Amino acid sequence: MEKIKIAVIGLGYVGLPLARLFSTKYKTIGFDVNAARVKALMEGHDSTLEVEDNLLQSALAKGFVCSSNIEDIRDCNFYVVAVPTPVDKNNRPDLTPLIKASETVGMVISKGDIVVYESTVYPGATEEDCLPVVERVSGLKFNEDFYAGYSPERINPGDKEHTVEKIKKVTSGSTPEIGKIVNEVYSSVITAGTHLAPSIKVAEAAKVIENSQRDINIAFVNELAKIFNLMGIDTQAVLEAAGTKWNFLPFKPGLVGGHCIGVDPYYLAQKAQEYGYNPEIILAGRRMNDSMGKYIATEVVKLMIKKQIPIKGTKALMLGITFKENCPDIRNTKAIDIYRELHEYDMEVDVYDPWAKPEEVMREYGISTLTNYPITNKYGAIILAVAHIEFLQINMKELIDNGCVIYDVKGIIDKELTSHRL
**Rounded distance between C-alpha atoms, residue 352 and residue 374, angstroms:** 8
- 129-150 exposure pattern, b = at least 16 Cβ within 10 A, e = fewer: bbbebbbebbebebeeebbbbb
Please identify which of the residues 130, 260, 327, 404 carries the catalytic annotation. Answer: 260
Q: Is 260 annotated in the active site? A: yes
List residues with catalytic annotation. Answer: 260
